[in-house]
């Protein structure tokens, strides 16, 4: 039973690493500084970043559960995470004042962005598991 522990730890470490990298990239790409806003008590930023993290984790879960190769997890996980970054670009086009709305703690903006990130994660997971 414990002979699969190294593979588990490798997959978990790879998935966590991808998630941290993707969230780091996401925070760098977005014009509103989520971490700073969250530290200031901004709910919109927390909903947005939390939903994005959930959406990205769903993608990584789907990828990890459908392969035994770490290389496939890296490649398909990264491809799925690019889809998550695409959500931000689309929402930014849909809502021109997104940066200001997030800075002003307009909760509906954060919920929309976080919710669409979760939805994209579910769609990515379905596409990656087929």
| pLDDT tens digits, 11-50 | 999 999 999 999 999 999 888 889 999 999 999 999 999 9
* C-alpha distances in Å from residue 108, one per residue of 49, 74, 115: 13, 33, 10
Angle, helix 43-65 to helix 107-128, in steps of 10 degrees: 0
Token digits of residue 36: 């700073």
- pLDDT value at residue 110: 95
Task: List the domain boundaries for the chain.
Answer: 43-130
- Indicate if the pLDDT at residue 130 is higher than 70: no
pTM higher than the cut 0.95: no
- Indicate if the pLDDT at residue 79 is higher than 90: no
Give the residue from 25, 46, 23, 22 showing the smallest Cα distance to 34: 46
């Amino acid at each position: 039973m414990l002979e699969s522990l190294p593979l588990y730890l490798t997959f978990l470490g790879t998935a966590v690493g991808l998630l941290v990298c993707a969230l780091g990239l996401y925070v760098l790409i977005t014009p509103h500084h989520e971490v700073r806003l969250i530290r200031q008590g901004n709910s919109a930023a927390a909903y947005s970043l939390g939903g994005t993290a959930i959406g990205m984790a769903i993608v990584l879960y789907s990828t990890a559960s459908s392969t035994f190769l770490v290389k496939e997890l890296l490649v398909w996980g990264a491809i799925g995470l690019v889809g998550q970054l695409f959500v931000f670009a689309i929402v930014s086009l849909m809502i021109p004042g997104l940066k200001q709305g997030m800075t002003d703690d307009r909760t509906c903006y954060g919920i929309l962005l976080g919710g669409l990130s979760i939805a994209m994660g579910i769609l990515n997971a379905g596409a990656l598991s087929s």
